[in-house]
């Protein structure tokens, strides 16, 4: 990934950072204008369309405003805001009425006593040109991710979509790094099971 220089990133310009850290409301309004759309897209991935995602973004900006004075500048402001909105979205997920999650076991591969997978299935072939466009494939993957139980869906999005590392994911989820690794491994296996019929050409259109 290409790194954007401070000179080409208005968020990182020293005068703007100074105004932000001093609590300048005009500077913060500018920050909101620059990042609200992207933050809403992140919140929507976790919470779906609607008021919950919008509320999470609002909460994230409030949290950012309260702590901007201590922003050390070790990460880009966009990265810092990204983590805040993910955290706010996760807190909203936790605060929802808890419903029993469906088991993920049926989506996981089975192994024999020697450790070999019982049904490895054929490899996914690249679809013919035009059969499954990149955008359609991305939509399909998002739809299948949405079918995963929230415990696995969130860790998959944090690690594989939002690109946070294992330590950050563990901190956000309030679990150990080993738990993150186990959940992520199971989530990836389950996602592949959901995608298999489509990439084998067996799913109904």
Q: Which of 27, 8, 5 is nearest to 17 (CA)?
A: 27
CA distance 122 to 119: 9
CA distance 171 to 189: 23
Domain that residue 157 falls in:
105-199
Q: What is the CATH number of the domain that holds 74?
A: 1.10.1740.10
Tell whether 75 and 33 lie within a shared domain: yes
Place of tokens 């300048």: 24
pLDDT, tens only, 62-88:
999 998 887 776 778 899 999 999 999
Neighbouring C-beta atoms of residue 40, cutoff 10 Å: 18
Q: Which of 28, 138, 45, 153 is nearest to 101 (CA)?
A: 153
Domain termination residue (choose one: 95, 115, 146): 95
Residue at 55 is within a domain: yes
Q: Which of 155, 145, 164, 165 is nearest to 185 (CA)?
A: 155
Domain termination residue (choose one: 72, 95, 118): 95
Tell whether 84 and 115 lie within a shared domain: no
Low-confidence spans in the chain with pLDDT less than 70? 1-8, 73, 97-102, 109-133, 200-205
Q: How many CA atoms lie within 13 A of 109 on its CB side?
A: 16
* Residue 157 tokens, joined: 């999005």
Please name every residue paired with 111 in a beta bridge, in sequence order, or none if there are none. 117
Q: How many domains does the chain have?
A: 2
Q: What is the CATH number of the domain that holds 165?
A: 1.10.10.10
Q: How many CA atoms lie within 13 A of 129 on its CB side?
A: 0
Question: What is the reported pTM?
Answer: 0.75
Task: Supply the pLDDT for residue 17.
Answer: 86
Residue at 205 is within a domain: no
CA distance 192 to 145: 10
Residue at 22 is within a domain: yes
Tell whether 90 and 64 lie within a shared domain: yes
The Cα-based distances of 156 to 75, 110, 123 in angstroms read 23, 21, 22
Residue at 41 is within a domain: yes
Task: Supply the pLDDT for residue 69.
Answer: 80
């Amino acid at each position: 990934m290409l790194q954007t220089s401070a000179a080409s990133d208005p968020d990182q310009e020293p005068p703007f950072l100074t105004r932000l850290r001093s609590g300048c409301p005009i500077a913060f309004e500018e920050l909101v204008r620059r990042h609200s759309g992207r933050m809403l897209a992140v919140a929507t991935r976790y919470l779906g369309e609607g008021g919950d995602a919008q509320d999470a973004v609002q909460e994230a900006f409030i949290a950012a405003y309260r702590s901007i004075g201590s922003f050390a500048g070790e990460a880009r402001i966009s990265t810092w805001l990204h983590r805040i909105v993910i955290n706010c979205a996760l807190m909203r997920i936790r605060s929802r009425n808890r419903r029993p999650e469906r088991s993920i076991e049926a989506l996981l591969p089975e192994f024999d006593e020697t450790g070999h997978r019982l049904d490895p299935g054929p490899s996914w072939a690249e679809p013919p040109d035009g059969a499954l466009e990149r955008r359609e494939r991305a939509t399909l993957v998002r739809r299948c991710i949405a079918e995963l139980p929230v415990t696995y869906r969130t860790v998959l999005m944090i690690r594989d979509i939002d690109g946070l590392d294992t330590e950050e994911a563990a901190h956000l989820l309030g679990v150990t790094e080993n738990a993150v690794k186990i959940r992520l491994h199971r989530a990836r296996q389950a996602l592949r099971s959901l995608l298999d019929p489509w990439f084998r050409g067996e799913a109904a259109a």
